[in-house]
Amino acid sequence: MPTMTYRQAVTEAIATEMRKDDSIVFFGEDVAKAGGVFKVTPGIYEEFGPLRVRDTPISEQAIIGAALGAAITGLRPVAELMFADFIPVAMDQIVNQVAKYRFMSGGQFTVPLTIRASQGAGGGFGTQHSQCAESWLMNFPGLKVVAPSTPADMYGLLRAAIRDDDPVIVLEHKSLYNLVGEVDLNAAPEALGTAEVIRRGEDITLVATQQMLHRALEAADKLAEEGIKPEVIDLRTLVPLDGATILRSVQRTSRLIIVEEAPRLGGWGASVAALVADEGLFYLDAPIKRVNMENALIAYSPVLEDEIIPNAQKIEKAVRQLLS
């Protein structure tokens, strides 16, 4: 299998689907000749031309409004919002129109719309360009929320999102854009709503996504040197949430730690904890523990940024506390 970066997997996924389906169009700020602000989609404009790949004004409301109109009139748009931090600018269109249009039309319309946005901390982008948006979006029925952690999952899940007849938001972690991994270009699109056990273990379950998945794996490697065997789960999709995989794991390990790159209050980790408390309470031999970003704004300073984001050492400490 070829190897590629997480960034290249985005390009490959979009191009693969655009070659198969002429109804797919792609637009956003500087996505055409410039290839995107993070150079995530170079070559798309050159291959598919100005009718299918278009730059937009710097207006999230205009991008999502146009994407909704395109989706309900026969196209299958992929719309890029440069930073997930700016999703709230278009929140009315996303949660009151995009998410509800199929329902409000009595099923007469579908909304085959994919919204891509980069998110996450770790690059010194400051407090307005470093947040994670999953939890903002999970409370609105009608939206699917995807958070790929590897190049292979980016390729498979983004293709699945583009093919879906309902709106899907694909959140790309910008600190992972240079991550390299094997990608099977002949594989079928991944099923949305399926978590994956990345590392088998028996002592404790670690649940994470994106950058936190890789830090959880780093912690698991260190803990293994001490004879501790964590099981690590990558959720991959927040909506639909694969609760069954989490519950099966907790039933084996009897302990759960949730690692989340976002403040504790109102985070998706609370939903996972509630699920296990509700449906798997008697599997547990210890309280559920959450490792979160500190309840603070994200600074430009690398030192301050690193201080508040969960790292492998913080995860290791939480595991040792729970096992003791």
| Beta partners for residue 27, in sequence order | 54, 79
Distance CA 54, CA 76 (A): 14
The catalytically annotated residue of 7, 52, 116, 129 is: 129
Using an 8 Å Cβ cutoff, are 137 and 97 in contact? Answer: no
CB atoms within 10 A of CB 291: 24
Backbone angles phi, psi at 205, to 5 degrees: -105, 130
Distance CA 241, CA 39 (A): 30
Q: Is 129 a catalytic residue?
A: yes
Beta strands (DSSP E) in the chain are 3-5, 24-28, 53-55, 76-83, 114-119, 144-146, 168-173, 180-182, 196-199, 204-208, 230-234, 237-239, 256-263, 289-293
Nearest Cα to Cα of residue 279 among 262, 256, 300, 297: 256
Q: Which residues are identified as catalytic? A: 129
